Structure 1
Amino acid sequence: MALPAASVQLYSLAKEFTADPQGSLDRLAAIGLKNVEAFDFVRRPAEIRSALDASGLVSPTGHAPLLTDELWTPDGSIPTPAPEVVFEAAAAIGIQTVIDPFVAPERWLTEEGVADIAERLNSAAEKAATFGLNVGYHNHAQEFVASFGDHTAYERFVSLTDERVQLELDLFWALTGGQDVPALVSRLGDRLTAVHVKDGIVPASNPWAPGAEAFGSDSLDQRHAGTGEVPLAAALRAGSAIQYAVIEYDRAPGDVFADIEASLGFLREGGFVA
């Protein structure tokens, strides 16, 4: 398998990027990154494309909601446009794969709910293809609360989606969901084309389980890659078709650019990225 390319999810530096898109991308380029993963790009595709071009970066993947009317984040919700609007913006930026980043916990608790999510994403894949794009899904931990037979809701979802639907596994959140992360990476096989490289001390219990207390990103203890509890090295080695190793912090422990550089160092020194 060819080594993945390093990338960074721009949600990690949402405040910095909103305040100074060009300066933020220039700093990422100076660190040595060539790829980013866009977030909240639909309302400003021309601005983002211009800043990417000026910094010499590209955004092969991007996060945008395809399966909900409103995208939840730990720090607020964002209204969602029609899929066609999302795909038009993605194509303008040069994004190749649009990844849905979050589907509400209650929709993962029943087989009918999981089937509906899969059906909607399969439909989105059909529409995306007319724009020359792919779609994917990024997990948190709610996908691992319920099980049907011997399979978690997440793996049932995978079995119901078209093979062209790509998977981006957030390794931190999969561990929070109680998964043997390297084993899950191995089972996902060639469907897994990207991972979120994120480390830290995982929450003591799944924050999206029924009855769990509400939480925000400020409560998370996230750390530089290789310094927390997530078996990042084993997970990366278990992949068979990972194209992008995407650095992300829901809550950066210090200066976000220094934190990103530290995680990039882990990926490079371990020989996990090209």
Structure 2
Amino acid sequence: MAPPLGVQLYTVREALAADRNGVLARIAELGYKAVEPFQPTDDPEGFRRVADDLGLTIPGAHAIALLDEEPGPVFEAIATLGAELAIVPAGIPHEDFTTAEGIGRAAERLNALSELAAGHGLRLAYHNHWWEVEPLVQGRHALDVLAGELAEQVALEVDTYWAAVGGADVPGLLGRLGDRVRSLHVKDGPLAKEQPHVAVGSGAMAVPEILAAAPGAWRVVELDSCATDVFGALAESRAYLDGLGEAA
């Protein structure tokens, strides 16, 4: 059974920096039951205590530091949070996804990190943006090629919006990637790289069809940017997903 509907905390990064505990309480008040941190080494013990008190679970955490710092302490922090997924959200050069050789290098880095993650009781995952999808390598999206070179234990967190912006048929992509997809970033917008995102259900994404293509994946709402009140957009997103039966 997938974890409950969550929020990627990058969505509320400015408010979070000013009042972490208050922001987590507000997310819980909106009815969300899980969060996905993006700075796991920032007081993981205190973060876990607050989340536990609010009834918020932490199934996974983003950690770009895994690529440019000693990974051991980062994995330890993620484990302290109680997460199962240690997610690399970016940091591999964009150009590596334009050639088979570059994708091979990316896979080697992720496979090596995955072995280290397992030593901490974690499963490594990789999160895409548009630049892992838009390039076609050997006639396939670079993300498809990468998946074929990753060790079996390496999971994927598919950002459905950026996959669509990159030109993928997202339900088809999810179908090809199968059980490797452990998490989805659920977001919406005008399908333009430079435009702000909107509440889930109010943009151009075919959300019901996308979610149906990965029924067992954890759903995580994210707005990279937002032209309206971000907490209002989170509330609208949850209400829409609740109407689809996806907000448990």
TM-score using structure 2 length: 0.94
Secondary structure of 2:37's counterpart equals strand
**Match for residue 260 of structure 1 among 230, 234, 240:** 234
Indicate whether 1:238 and 2:223 are aligned: no
Q: Structure 1 residues 111, 66: closer, same or farther in 2, change over 3 A? A: farther
Identity of aligned residues (%): 37
1:54 is paired with a residue whose SS is: helix
Aligned equivalents of 1:56, 1:241: Cα separation in 2: 22
- Alpha-carbon RMSD across the aligned residues, in angstroms, is 1.6
Instruction: Report if the CA contact (8 A) 1:189-1:241 is conserved.
Output: no
Matches of 1:273 and 1:4, distance apart in 2: 10
SS at match of 1:58: coil
User: 1: CA distance between counterparts of 2:186 and 2:19?
Assistant: 24
Q: Is the 2:66–2:74 Cα contact (8 Å) retained in structure 1?
A: no
Name the counterpart of 1:141.
130
Higher deviation after alignment, 59-68 or 161-170: 59-68
Determine if contact 1:21/1:51 at 8 Å carries over to the other structure.
Answer: no
Aligned with residue 164 of structure 1, among 153, 158, 169:
153
Are the aligned partners of 1:197 and 1:246 in contact in 2 as well (CA < 8 Å)? yes
Aligned to 1:112: 101
Matches within 5 A, 1:189-268: 189-203=178-192, 219-242=194-217, 244-268=218-242
Shift of 1:117: 0.9
Deviation readout 1:208-260 (Å, 9 max, x if unpaired)? xxxxxxxxxxx423111111111111010111431x11000001232222211
Query: Which of 187, 191, 199 pairs up with 2:176?
Result: 187
Count of residues in Structure 1 that have an aligned counterpart in Structure 2: 247
Q: Which 4+ runs in 1 deviate beyond 6 A?
A: none
More helix by share: 2
Cα 1:57/1:179, change in 2 over 3 Å? same
d(CA) in 1 for partners of 2:227, 2:242: 20
Determine which of 121, 133, 150 is the counterpart of 1:132.
Answer: 121
Quote the Cα distance in structure 1 between the aligned partners of 2:122 and 2:160.
25
Aligned to 1:93: 81
Equivalent in the alignment of 2:20: 21
Give secondary structure in 2 for the equivalent of 1:8.
Answer: strand
User: Which has the larger strand fraction?
Assistant: 1
Any gaps of 5 or more consecutive residues in structure 2? none
Note closer, same or farther for the CA distance 1:124–1:7 as it changes in structure 2 (3 Å cut).
same
Displacement of 1:270 in angstroms is 0.8
3-state SS of 1:13 partner? helix
1:134-162 per-residue CA deviation (whole Å, 9 max, x = no partner) reads 11011000012322223221111000001
Q: Which residue of 2 aligns with 1:271?
A: 245
How many Å separate the matches in 1 of 2:4 and 2:50?
A: 20
Query: Which residue of structure 2 lines up, in the alignment, with residue 76 of structure 1?
Result: none
